[in-house]
Structure 1
Amino acid sequence: MDTTRNDSSKDCLIEALLELKALQDFISNSSTKYFGKLLPKLIGADTIPFFLSTKEGLLTLTGDDFNKKTGKSTCFSTKYFRIESILKESGCVIVSLLMPLDIHGEHTKNICDCIQLKKTSTCVTIDFSCICAIQPLELELLKRKIIVEPKW
Structure 2
Amino acid sequence: MGCRKHDETAGSCVCDAVAAIKNAQDQVDNNGGNCRNKCFDSLLSPAGNNNGLDTVPFLLQTKTGEYFSSVGAVGRNDCFQTTFFRVEKIDEDNCCATLSLLRPDSELEFNKCCVDPTSLCEVEELERTRYCIEVDLDCFCAIQCLDPNLVGDIDHHCK
- Same fold by TM-score, threshold 0.5 exceeded? yes
Cα distance in 1 for residues equivalent to 2:105 and 2:145? 18
Match of 2:31 in 1: 30
Please tell me the residue identity of whatever aligns with 2:5.
Answer: N
Cα distance in 2 for residues equivalent to 1:26 and 1:47? 11
User: Which structure has more helix as a fraction of its residues?
Assistant: 1
Cα distance in 2 for residues equivalent to 1:119 and 1:4? 29
Q: Which runs of 5+ in 2 are unaligned?
A: 36-43, 109-118, 154-159
Is the aligned partner of 1:50 residue 2:50?
Answer: no
Please tell me the residue identity of whatever aligns with 1:28.
Answer: D
**Scaled by the length of structure 2, what TM-score is found?**
0.68
Do the aligned partners of 1:48 and 1:82 also contact (CA within 8 Å) in 2? Answer: yes
1:27-80 CA distances to partner (integer Å, 9 max, x unpaired)?
A: 22213xxxxx566984232111000110231101111189xxxxx641100010
CA 1:58/1:3 → structure 2, altered by over 3 Å: closer, same or farther? Answer: closer
Q: How many residues align?
A: 128
Cα distance in 1 for residues equivalent to 2:139 and 2:13? 14
Report the aligned-residue RMSD.
3.1
Pairing partner for 1:78 from 63, 76, 82: 82
CA 1:139/1:3 → structure 2, altered by over 3 Å: closer, same or farther? Answer: closer
Do the aligned partners of 2:95 and 2:136 also contact (CA within 8 Å) in 1? Answer: yes
Is the aligned partner of 1:90 residue 2:99?
Answer: no
SS of the aligned residue for 2:151 comes to helix
Match of 2:6 in 1: 7
CA 1:86/1:3 → structure 2, altered by over 3 Å: closer, same or farther? Answer: closer
CA 1:5/1:116 → structure 2, altered by over 3 Å: closer, same or farther? Answer: closer
Q: Which runs of 5+ in 1 are unaligned?
A: 32-36, 67-71, 103-107, 145-152
SS of the aligned residue for 2:99 comes to strand
Do the aligned partners of 2:28 and 2:34 also contact (CA within 8 Å) in 1? Answer: no
Larger radius of gyration between Structure 1 and Structure 2: 1
Match of 2:122 in 1: 113
SS of the aligned residue for 1:115 comes to coil
Q: What percent of counterpart residues are identical?
A: 31
